[in-house]
Structure 1
Amino acid sequence: MTPGRRHGRALTVLLSALLAGTACGPVADRKPQDLRVGYDSLDGSLAVWPPRGDLSGDAATTTAVTDAVRDWRSPADDRAHLPSSGILFSGRVDGAPVALVAADVPGESASWLLQLTRDGDRYAITRATEYTDPGYLVYSDVLPVQTAGGRRYLVSARVQRLLGPQGRALTVADGLSAPVDVPACTAVPVTATLRATESLPRGRAADRLLDLGTGTADPRYPLVRDESGTGRRALTGLDTCVLAGDRGPFGSIPRRIGDRDAPRSVPTSWPMAKLTVRSLGEVALGGGEPAELQQLSWDTDAGTMTAVVYRPADGSAPVVSPADRATPLQTYQLPVPGQPLVVLSWRATRDSSLSVPPGTPLLVERPGLVVVPEPSRSQTFSLANTDKTHYRSITPR
């Protein structure tokens, strides 16, 4: 099974307490074998996820959706726990029946957002994304929905107003927003205003998210928390489909289940929140115009990850490295066309000293940063501090 998730945010804990304190459970007249419609979570007296959609009261639809969810398996072959899952929306969208289910998968300590459409007299799961933020999916307030008409968002009852790309207010009916044009491979902001509730006595004027684009492939969840707004700046000019690739920052560290990689699961390096960027300075290669070198940082459910971005001076496409877990000595393999590089970064102090293999040409050398050509064979670099020496090895790709 996947590693246990980290503890959720304070809001998650508070809402869990509210749920337990109000003794909310499955609706009394619901058939035990069927999914609940809506979700039994309260924020004070507010039902956070009430039943939505014009088919939410249709028993046959609920049974058909339940049957499809019961048969579904995650990439790790785990199933949803029906009593702790729920149908958040069931209704016609763009003329076709659609259901959205928050599926609890205890075997992975995970929550999944399942999107279903009707296929004859049955329902079939057409989208399945794993919610990688700590806590349960139902403690989020904005969920992504992909329909024939474009991207939509399903919002909780806490959402008072929703702004899409370009800061335009989106019309919301029965919890579902109007379609909005979201690019396939460009991050765009989505901002919700949350009303005052027991858990948020003053509400929240700007609950910021980034939508990584409609090209984000399942099971990767496309919304990333961006509370400070730094993520929007960090991803400016970057192709999110490249970032999500097997050699991109967000997709390069596969999840492991047991002793094996699980390529069909969400990568361990997939972003969850706190995307930031800082400049590492300019780098001039071969006498050319200096390019800007940046370091991306973001939170995942496995800790902090980093990567570097090389932005050419001529405005051509940026080059990105695979992810590296946050360590005292960061190493990045940067596939610059015609001159692949290795970037080494650390927090320089009076007592820190970097050692490189003899004969290694230093293209850039300054406190906290060294850039060298990618070696033709495996090489080891070391960073000596007062209390410990850190070693990192680089193997040619």
Structure 2
Amino acid sequence: MPKEPAVALRVGYDTLDGTLQVWPSRGTLAGDPQATTAVAKAVDEWRSPVEDRVHLPSSGILWLGEVDGARLALVAADVPGESASWLLQLTSDGTDFRVDRAVEYTDPGYLVYSDVLPVQLPTGRRYLVSARVDRLLGPDRQTLAVTDGLTAPVAVPACAAATVTARLRPSESLPSGKSADRLVDLGTGTAGPRYPLVNDDTASAGAALRGLDTCRLGEKTGAFGSIAHRVHGRVHPGSVPASWPIDQVRTKTLGEVALDDSGRLSKLEQLRWRTDDGVMTAVMVRPADGPPVVSAADRSEPLQGYLLPLPSPVVVLVWEDSSESSLTLPPGTPRRIDRPGLVVLDKPTSRQTYSLTHSDETIQRSFGGN
């Protein structure tokens, strides 16, 4: 029998909405002390990418039972080292459990404040829903079957966005309930520890991410993966990128532009989203034929600068045009496009700096060279 850790791990979570227990203990093994002890032991031994450990007294087993012939545990793990909240997924073929998937909930606050959590199994995506969820619609707008809080497998693509929508029943915090609590799933190919669900209350994320390869967005050169998380001033590649989205994903059209030798017009858009580190942006071009091309991320500032990785790379500079702003380029810089608030240049062969004077401050962006 597994050795019991110094502190037990509660079954369920004591989050209340009035008298409603939002995350009650669920699953056929939730009352099995041997199974819960084995889960607690595995969680106690797990470490985050920065070697932080779980604080067991403020964590809880949300679901513990059997799925597809194997034992599964889902744990809301409080990791106080960086004020982080993790969803740990554990499996077992025998007596002991092991953490085989861990994703960090990047929205400040506790994971258990959410009502729909992602579960990834060999048979595909499932969702664990709170007691507040009255109905959950899948990407095809059909109601998902839910048993003891866990849905049946859901057809979610690996590298494309899919929308799921929860209807929340009336409660003390939501006296009228909520008819459409929207989430965008970035796909089953989203690699941990990145959290694959993005809040979409504005219903803008689905349209913004249409046609985009979400796996590529999450890579080191992609919009969502390009700004690394720093721990004590040092880059920590195993952590969730600082540019990983929480919500407010939307696009803004910058104009129709011709960026290749054919002269055909393509739509140039600015992609914008909120992260735990603030608002981030990128630019993308949607050609008339072929997949969209997306830049890496830039933090939201008065002057935004991007390198768009086309066959002939271009630099895109974006700012809010006003009488108080003035863009300065190196003398003789040729401009492919020069419009109020938008300049597109060929990528320079040597390092060049572009400056925007705005409200008594100067913001610079540099591109080119190696």
- Contact kept, 8 Å, 1:250 with 1:267, in 2: the verdict is yes
Give the residue type in structure 2 aligned to 1:317.
P
In the alignment, which of 270, 273, 284 is matched to residue 298 of structure 1?
273
- Contact kept, 8 Å, 1:170 with 1:178, in 2: the verdict is yes
Q: Does 1:375 align with 2:355?
A: no
Q: Identify unmatched segments of 5+ residues in structure 2.
A: none
1:275-286 equivalences under 5 Å are 275-285=249-259, 286=261
In the alignment, which of 308, 316, 330 is matched to residue 343 of structure 1?
316
Distance 2:176 2:114 in 1: 18
1:279-321 residue CA offsets vs partner (Å, 9 max, x unmatched): 11011133520111100000000100000011112x2111110
| Structure 2 counterpart of 1:126 | 100
Distance 1:217 1:51 in 2: 28
- Contact kept, 8 Å, 1:238 with 1:318, in 2: the verdict is yes
1:348-372 residue CA offsets vs partner (Å, 9 max, x unmatched): 0123221111121100000000000
> Helix, strand or coil for the counterpart of 1:166?
coil
| Structure 2 counterpart of 1:111 | 85
Give the residue type in structure 2 aligned to 1:72.
W
| Structure 2 counterpart of 1:390 | 363
1:1-32 residue CA offsets vs partner (Å, 9 max, x unmatched): xxxxxxxxxxxxxxxxxxxxxxxxxxxxx997
1:164-179 equivalences under 5 Å are 164-179=138-153
Q: TM-score, normalised by structure 2?
A: 0.97
| Structure 2 counterpart of 1:332 | 306
Q: Does 1:249 align with 2:230?
A: no
| Structure 1 counterpart of 2:183 | 209
Q: What is the CA-CA distance between 1:126 and the residue it aligns to?
A: 0.8
Give the residue type in structure 2 aligned to 1:81.
H
Give the residue type in structure 2 aligned to 1:34.
A
- Contact kept, 8 Å, 1:171 with 1:178, in 2: the verdict is yes
Q: Does 1:364 align with 2:347?
A: no
Q: TM-score, normalised by structure 1?
A: 0.90
1:231-288 residue CA offsets vs partner (Å, 9 max, x unmatched): 0110001000111111110000000001210100000000000001011101113352
Distance 2:84 2:195 in 1: 12
Structure 1 residues 386 and 117: alpha-carbon distance in aligned structure 2, compared to 1, 3 A threshold: closer
1:179-201 residue CA offsets vs partner (Å, 9 max, x unmatched): 11110000000100001000111
Distance 2:359 2:56 in 1: 54
Percent same amino acid among aligned pairs?
Answer: 61
- Contact kept, 8 Å, 2:314 with 2:347, in 1: the verdict is yes
- Contact kept, 8 Å, 1:94 with 1:148, in 2: the verdict is no
Distance 1:185 1:333 in 2: 23
Give the residue type in structure 1 aligned to 2:267.
E
Give the residue type in structure 2 aligned to 1:197.
S
Structure 1 residues 31 and 255: alpha-carbon distance in aligned structure 2, compared to 1, 3 A threshold: closer
Q: Does 1:354 align with 2:304?
A: no
1:266-277 equivalences under 5 Å are 266-277=240-251
1:90-144 residue CA offsets vs partner (Å, 9 max, x unmatched): 0001111100000000001000000000043210111000000121000000000
| Structure 2 counterpart of 1:183 | 157
| Structure 2 counterpart of 1:200 | 174
Q: What is the CA-CA distance between 1:395 and the residue it aligns to?
A: 3.9
| Structure 2 counterpart of 1:20 | none
1:1-150 equivalences under 5 Å are 33-150=7-124
Q: Does 1:312 align with 2:287?
A: yes
Q: Calculate the aligned-residue CA RMSD, in Å.
A: 1.3
Larger mean CA deviation between 33-42 and 295-304 belongs to 33-42
Q: Does 1:224 align with 2:198?
A: yes
Give the residue type in structure 2 aligned to 1:289.
R
Structure 1 residues 396 and 216: alpha-carbon distance in aligned structure 2, compared to 1, 3 A threshold: farther
Query: Between Structure 1 and Structure 2, how many residues are aligned?
Result: 366
Give the residue type in structure 2 aligned to 1:191.
T
- Contact kept, 8 Å, 2:35 with 2:95, in 1: the verdict is no
| Structure 1 counterpart of 2:263 | 288
- Contact kept, 8 Å, 2:271 with 2:282, in 1: the verdict is yes
- Contact kept, 8 Å, 2:5 with 2:44, in 1: the verdict is no
Distance 1:71 1:151 in 2: 26
Give the residue type in structure 1 aligned to 2:317.
L
> Helix, strand or coil for the counterpart of 1:167?
coil
